[in-house]
Amino acid sequence: MSVYAPGARIVVRDAEWLVRQVERTDMAGDALKVVGISELVRNREAIYRSS
C-alpha cells in the first residue's frame, strides 16, 4: 500500500507538486505522476519514483 494518494502535495527539490496518480511498479516503490503547483514548476508534469 502506498503512503501517497492522489491530491497529496509533495515537495521535491524545493518545489511543490500535486500528486495526480500513483502507480505500483515492478520494482520497489511507486511511480508518482505529478503536476507542479509552485511558481517555478507551475503546470509542468513529471513522474517521480518513491521508495
Output the pLDDT for position 43. Answer: 98
pLDDT band (50, 70, 90) for residue 1: low
Virtual CA dihedral for 38, 41, 47, 51, nearest 10 degrees?
-50
Strands 15-24 vs 9-12: parallel, antiparallel or unpaired: antiparallel
Give the predicted TM-score (pTM) of the model: 0.86
The grid coordinates listed for 32 are: 508518482
Mean pLDDT of 9-26: 94
Average pLDDT score, the chain:
92
Q: What is the residue type of 47?
A: I
Residues 45, 51: Cα–Cα separation, whole Å: 20
